[in-house]
Amino acid sequence: MSARTKARKRALDILFQADVRGDEVATILAAEAQRAANEPAREASWLYAREIVDGIIDNQGEIDEQITTFAKDWPLSRMPAVDRALLRIATWEILYNDEVPTAVAIDEAVELAKEFSTDESGAFVNGVLARIARSS
């Protein structure tokens, strides 16, 4: 598993925790940063996870607007928390990270949705992200 794949999982965990607990993402991110300082072997995945989460924090309004626009009749509040987090991660990568090819961002999100969310989540995430990618 690549460092970026591991980083996406870490970012997913941070976003999911904040969502489920009702905490600020920045609070969970700070706790994870403290933990990461004690795990130098995982530094490569931590750096990209932090970049993802910081990017989502900085651009959440635009990211959520894109998701809401292209999720056709699915408001963010109705989506499973895992799907919502994965859509935010991949949308950030598509819109704000030129180093990640769009197809890779979508594929990684779909695979994580299949692994961690509902049976229908892979197709849902793929459809929303494909529409976002076509519009950008």
- pTM listed for this prediction: 0.94
Q: Which domain holds residue 131?
A: 3-135
121-135 and 43-70 are packed helices; what angle lies between their axes, rounded to 10 degrees? 80
Locus of tokens 């490569």: 44
pLDDT tens digit sequence for 22-81: 999 999 999 988 888 888 777 778 899 999 999 999 999 999 999 999 998 899 999 999
Locus of tokens 């607990």: 21
Locus of tokens 């403290």: 34
CB 48 within 8 A of CB 13: no
**Number of structural domains the chain divides into:** 1
Which domain CATH number covers 123? 1.10.940.10
